[in-house]
Amino acid sequence: MSNQLNVVELFAGVGGFRLGLEKADASFFKTVWANQWEPGKKVQHAYDCYASHFKTDDNNLDDINNEDISTIENSVFERLNIDLLVGGFPCQDYSVARTLSGEQGIKGKKGVLFWEIKRIIENSHPQYVLLENVDRLIKSPAKQRGRDFAVMLAVFRDLDYIVEWRVINASEYGNAQRRRRVFIFAYKKNLDYAEQQMSLPTDDLLFKDGFFARTFPVKETAFKGRNEKDQKLPEDVVEISDHYSFQFHTAGIMIDGVFHTVQPEAKEPAPIALKNKLLPEEKVEEEYYLKEAEIEKFDYLRGSKKIERISKDGHKYIYAEGGMSPVDDVDLPGRTMLTSEGSINRSTHVVEVDGRKRYLTPIECERLNGFSDNWTFGMPKRMRYFCMGNALVVDLIKDMGERIKEIALVEKKKPCN
């Protein structure tokens, strides 16, 4: 086995996956190519940030790509010798249809980036794939629960991968943000690691010995008995897209199209308080403190309300919203940051320190995701908040990277096609 893994990072943002893997072992994880492209944006702030941190003398701008991923030729991925493919991709509509000829298989909706992941895997056959998405992915769409996730599982099945997934709340594993994201770890069936995993009961994999359970320990039984095994996906992906629905739980494993899904609980939650990530007040600029008019707006936005509204077809209805605390409790982890962080919005954090209410600063938002201070410096302030709302928690990737390294170091060198 080589003493390093070649990594390709897709939809790279400001580099959370790469930074996490380098924190795990910068000499073992070698990022050989990365792509970040924001459609419709004249200035590519996230790409510029990524390139500023990771461009070195031994790589060039071809290695840090700023083009629409769908325009990149298959030959690029064929030559990269990818061992590990990583990326955080948008939650979209994954419905599919049969091609006009029928014999050519399926086609996904145009512009859906998961199909680009599929194309890249088909042309590079990485041993391992690690993906991140919002936790609602496993329940979407609302009118056919679980369809989109089932389509993804079936695609990995047809590409000869075993798949584990887990919704992880970052605050339960030593981080200062209650950020819930689903992580998907897929690995080739012909690996020795796969053979070893398949020799164990799936209960053991999900609660003790699997990729996620070893990395993020859980209690020995499922929450409220939510434990369903021996569920089989339909063979035809189009049938899944058209008719299939299933209430997937927050963790699971799929082998040969048969999956076992459970809802585990963190074994020993270890949250970090928001106050541990705040700057000293003397270093917070005046612009971050709320003016009286802003305080009044936040009081309204965060308060309970019932509002009569009229739908497009003229139907009247009552929109109701529960109240929340006027300020965030700094003795708890922060709530999930959204891309609207720092604006006058119900989801924005408001902290009160020394009797004054204020926004989080961009540096504090970087800290909540595990980036170093001023990682996004140089962007407009609004974009700094936006990029952190889109980013992942770096230390979760560090933890997963350490486990991937353990797996890879004991893997016997075998052909992976």
Q: Give pairs for 150-154: CB < 8 Å, separation 24+.
A: 150/233, 150/240, 150/244, 150/246, 150/248, 151/94, 151/95, 151/96, 151/237, 151/240, 151/241, 152/94, 152/114, 152/184, 153/233, 153/254, 153/257, 153/259, 154/233, 154/234, 154/237, 154/240, 154/257
DSSP state of 304: -
Q: List the beta bridge partners of residue 261.
A: 228, 252
Between vectors from CA 28 to CA 24 and to CA 30, what angle results, nearest 5°? 105
Distances in whole angstroms, Cα of residue 237 to Cα of each of 95, 101, 129: 9, 16, 20
CB 64 within 8 A of CB 39: no
Catalytic site residue from 49, 91, 365, 387: 91
Please choose, from the candidates 267, 277, 151, 172, the residue with its C-alpha nearest in 3D space to the C-alpha of residue 218.
267
Residue 91 bears catalytic tag: yes
> What is the rounded CA–CA span in Å between residue 120 and residue 117?
5
**Hey, which residues are catalytic here?**
91
